[in-house]
Structure 1
Amino acid sequence: MTHPLRTRTFRLLFLGRTVSAIGDAVVPAALTLAVLRATGSTAALAVVLAAAMVPRLLLLPLGGVVADRFDSRRVALLADVVRCATQLTVGVELLGGDPSLTTIVLASALGGTASAFAIPTASPLVAGTVDPAARQRANALLGITANTSRLAGPALAGALIWAAGPGWAFILDGTSFAISAVLLAVLRVRHVPVPRRPILADLRHGWHEVRARDWYWTSLIGHGVWNGAAAVLMTLGPAIALNRLGGETTWVLLLQAGAVGMLTGSLLAGRVRLRRPVLLANLGLASYAAPLLLLAAAAPAPAVIAAYAVALTALGYLNPVWETVVQHHIPPEVLARVTSYDWLVSLGAMPLGYALAPLAADAVGASAPLAVAGVLVLAACAGTALVPGVRRLTWLADPAPRPAAPAGAPSAA
C-alpha cells in the first residue's frame, strides 16, 4: 500500500489543511481577548460567537448539497477565499486601534456561512485524492495535524498576542486560508457528477441515505449525545475543579491530558485497523461517561484526569476511523450531504449542552447534570452495540444492500 504522502494530490491537500489548522488554532484565544478588550462585555463576545455559529448550523445541509452538486475542490477553495477575506478584515480592524463590533460581527457571520460550505467538503476531498486502502492513514494524518495544532495553538496564540496583539492572530489565520486556497487551486480531485435536481430533492435524498443505514443514524445519535455531554463538562467542570479538586492547576492538567489523548488516538488510528471499526469506536466513546461521573462525585483529581485522557484518546481514534468508514460505505455522489447531517447533529448538540448545563446546575447543583450526562453517553454510545448494522459493519462491504433512491432523487452514478 502506497503511503498517502507519496501521492502529490494528497500532499497538497495535507499541506493546505495543516497550514489552515495552525491558523485556526490561534484565533479562539485572540477573538476572546480582542472582543473583551474592545467592549469589556461578555454579552458582546456571545453575540460574536453566535454570529458565526448560527449560519454555520443553519446552512450545513445546503453546504452538503452544493459540495455534492459541484466540484468539492472548488467549493472548498471559494470558502477559503471568503474566510481569508473575513479574517484579514477583522485583523486590520483590530490593528487600527478602534475596532467596530458591527464589523467583527458581520465578518464572523460571513465566516460562519463560508464554513458551512467548507465543512462538508472535507470527506469528499480525501475520498477524491486517496485510494481506499490508504484512506485510514490519510485521515489519521489529518487528525494528527488538527490535534497537534489544538495542543500548540493556545501557546502560539499567547506568544503572538503578547508580542504583537490579537490583530496579528487574525492576519495569520487569513494568510493560512490564502495559502490553502492556492494549494486547492492546483489540486485535482475525483468528482462524481450529480444530476441537477431541486434543492429540496437533493436534501431529501441525502437524508434518505442517512436513514437507510442503521449503523449511521444510530451512531449519529451517540455522537450528538457525546458532544452535548462534552459541553456540559466544559461548562460545569471548571467550577468543580476550582472548588473541590485542587484549583486551576487541576483543570489545566485535565485539558492538557485530553489534548495529548486526542493526539495519541490519532496516532493509533494510523496504525491499528479494527475488524469491527464502528462497534469498537462507539464503545470507546462510551468511556467519556467515566470523567463525567467522576467529576460528579468529586473523585480525586488524578482519577478524573486519567479518565479524561483515556476518553479523549478514544475520541482521537474514532474521528479518523469514522471518516474512513463513511468514505468506504457512502456513495461518493452523496458523501458531502450525508456528512453534513453528521456535522449538523454533532455541532447542534453543543449549544444545547452549553445552554442547559448552567440552568440545571442552578436548580439542582453541578453534580446532577454531570451524572445525567454520563449516563446518557454510556447509554447512547454503548447502546449502538445492540444495532445489527453496527455489529456487522466491516471495512469491506456495506452490510445492507445499496438503498434505492427516493422518488425525485438521482440514482447512484
Structure 2
Amino acid sequence: MTQPLRQPAFRLLFLGRTVSAVGDAVVPAALALAVLRATGSTSALALVLGAAMVPRLLLLPLGGVAADRFDARRVAILADLTRVVTQLVVGLELLGGDPSLTSITVVSAVGGVAAAFALPTGSPLVAGTVEPAGRQRANALLGTTANASRLAGPALAGALIWAAGPGWAFVLDAGSFAISAALLAVIRVRPVPRTERRSLAADLLHGWREVRARTWFWSSLLGHGVWNGAAAVLTTLGPAVAVNRLGGEGVWLLMLQAGAVGMLAGSLLAGRFRPRRPVLLANLGLASYAAPLILLAVAAPAPAVVAAYGIALAALGYLNPVWETVVQGQFPPHVLARVTSYDWLVSLGAMPVGYALAPLAARVWGEPAPLAAAGALVLVACAGTALVPGVRRLAWPAPATPEPTREPLAAR
C-alpha cells in the first residue's frame, strides 16, 4: 500500500480532521457538565442532545445529495464554518456566566444540521485526495487519530474544565473547525464528473437504487444497524449491571477505557492487514460484540467482561477504515456522498431505538433479558451476512457491482 501522507492534499485533509477530532473530543464532557451546572436537570441535557440528533438524522440524505451535487469540499467548508459559529456561541454563553438553555438548544440544533451535511463529505474527500492503492491506509490513519482523540478527550476535557471552565472547551472546538475549514479551502480534490440535473426526489431515489443494487452493502448495513442498536442497549444498561453486580463504578470505567484502547488498536491494524475477503472478515469481527452483551447478562467475572468489550471494540476499530475503503472503491464517485449518507442514517438511526427500548424491556423482564437478546441479535445479524454470496465473494481489489444502475447518466 502507498503512503497517503506523501500526497499534499491528503496531508492537509488529515491535519484538518485531526485538529477537528481533538476539538470534538472535549465537547461531550464539557456539554454535559455545563448543562447540569446551569440547570441541574438531566432532562435538560437530554433536550439539548436530542436537539442536535434529530436534525442530523432527518437531513442526512439531503446532505448526501448536496455533497454529490455541489462538490463535497465546498459543502464541508460551509458545514465547518457553521460549526465555528455554533460552538463559539455556546462557548460565549457559558463564559458569560448566565447561559440560556433555549439558546444552547437552538444552537445545538443548527450544529446538528451542519453535521448532517458534513458527515457524507468524508468518504468523497478521501476518495478525491488519495489514489485507490492508498485509501485503506488513509482511512486507517483517520480512524487512528479519531480514536486516539476519543481516548485522550475526557482527560483533556477535565483539565480544560478544571483550569478554565467548560466554555473554553467550546471555544477550542470552534477554533478547530476554523482550522479545518481553512485547510479544506486550499486542498485540491479531483473533480467528479457531474450527472444531469435532477429533482431532489430523483437524486435521493437514484442513491437508494445504488444501495439496493449491491447485496453485500445493504445486507452488511442491516447488520451494522443492529450492532449500533445493541451498543445503545449496552450503554444504557451496562453501567447498572457493572455497579450492582460486577463490583462498582470502576468496572464500568475500566470497560470504557478498554473499549477506547481496543478501537485504537483495531484502527492501527486496519492500516496494515489487507484480507482477501474484507467485508466478510470485518462483519464476522463485529459479531464478537455479542460476547460482552451476554457476559453482562449473566454477570460474568469483571475481567472477562472487560476483555470481551475491548476485543469487540477492536473489531469495530478495524471495520470502520476497511468498510470506508471498500465503499469508496465500489461505488461511482458521483453517488458516493449519497451512499455514505444512507450508511450514516442506518447507523445513527438505530441507536435511539436501542436507547428507548432498553429501559422499557429492563423494567418488564429485568436487565439480563434485553442484554442477552441484543447479543443474540448482533450474532445473527453480523455473522449472518456470511450467508450472502455478495459478502463472501467481495475481494480486494477488484470492484464488485452485481447489478449496475439502470439509469443512464449524462455528463454535464
TM range (shorter): over 0.9
Once the two structures are superposed, the pairs formed by residues 333-348 of structure 1 within 5 Å of their partners are 333-348=334-349
Shift of 1:40: 1.0
The CA distance in 1 between the partners of 2:352 and 2:179, in whole Å, is: 31
The CA distance in 1 between the partners of 2:2 and 2:307, in whole Å, is: 36
Shift of 1:191: 2.6
**Is 2:320 the partner of 1:325?**
no
Q: TM-score, normalised by structure 1?
A: 0.98
Residue type at the aligned position of 1:22: V
Residue type at the aligned position of 2:276: R
Structure 1 residue aligned with 2:307: 306
Secondary structure in 2 aligned to 1:183?
Answer: helix
Once the two structures are superposed, the pairs formed by residues 16-27 of structure 1 within 5 Å of their partners are 16-27=16-27
Structure 2 residue aligned with 1:110: 110
Shift of 1:70: 1.1
Residue type at the aligned position of 2:273: V
Once the two structures are superposed, the pairs formed by residues 161-176 of structure 1 within 5 Å of their partners are 161-176=161-176
Structure 1 residue aligned with 2:224: 223
Q: Is the 8 A contact 2:213 2:405 kept in 1?
A: no
* CA deviation map 1:152-183 (0-9, x unaligned): 00000000000000000000000000000000
Q: Is the 8 A contact 1:257 1:308 kept in 2?
A: yes
Q: Is the 8 A contact 1:225 1:377 kept in 2?
A: yes
The CA distance in 1 between the partners of 2:73 and 2:188, in whole Å, is: 8
The CA distance in 2 between the partners of 1:204 and 1:152, in whole Å, is: 41
The CA distance in 2 between the partners of 1:73 and 1:412, in whole Å, is: 20
Structure 1 residue aligned with 2:256: 255
The CA distance in 2 between the partners of 1:271 and 1:354, in whole Å, is: 35
Structure 2 residue aligned with 1:241: 242
Task: State the superposition RMSD in angstroms.
Answer: 1.1
The CA distance in 1 between the partners of 2:288 and 2:46, in whole Å, is: 31
The CA distance in 1 between the partners of 2:327 and 2:302, in whole Å, is: 37
Residue type at the aligned position of 2:80: D
* CA deviation map 1:175-227 (0-9, x unaligned): 00000000000011113123221000000000000000000000000000000
Structure 1 residue aligned with 2:233: 232
Shift of 1:402: 5.3
Structure 2 residue aligned with 1:194: 195
Shift of 1:131: 0.1
Secondary structure in 2 aligned to 1:46?
Answer: helix
The CA distance in 2 between the partners of 1:268 and 1:113, in whole Å, is: 33
The CA distance in 2 between the partners of 1:396 and 1:151, in whole Å, is: 32
Report the number of matched residues. 411
The CA distance in 1 between the partners of 2:405 and 2:105, in whole Å, is: 44
5+ long unaligned stretches in structure 1: none
Q: Is the 8 A contact 1:405 1:411 kept in 2?
A: no
Residue type at the aligned position of 2:391: V
The CA distance in 1 between the partners of 2:396 and 2:90, in whole Å, is: 44
5+ long unaligned stretches in structure 2: none
The CA distance in 2 between the partners of 1:133 and 1:285, in whole Å, is: 25
* CA deviation map 1:354-385 (0-9, x unaligned): 01100000111000000000000000000000
Runs of 4+ in 1 over 6 A off after TM superposition: none
Q: Is the 8 A contact 2:209 2:405 kept in 1?
A: no
Q: Is the 8 A contact 1:331 1:412 kept in 2?
A: no
The CA distance in 1 between the partners of 2:195 and 2:138, in whole Å, is: 26
Structure 1 residue aligned with 2:137: 137
Structure 2 residue aligned with 1:77: 77
Structure 2 residue aligned with 1:391: 392
Residue type at the aligned position of 1:198: S
The CA distance in 2 between the partners of 1:253 and 1:38, in whole Å, is: 29
Structure 2 residue aligned with 1:34: 34
Q: TM-score, normalised by structure 2?
A: 0.98
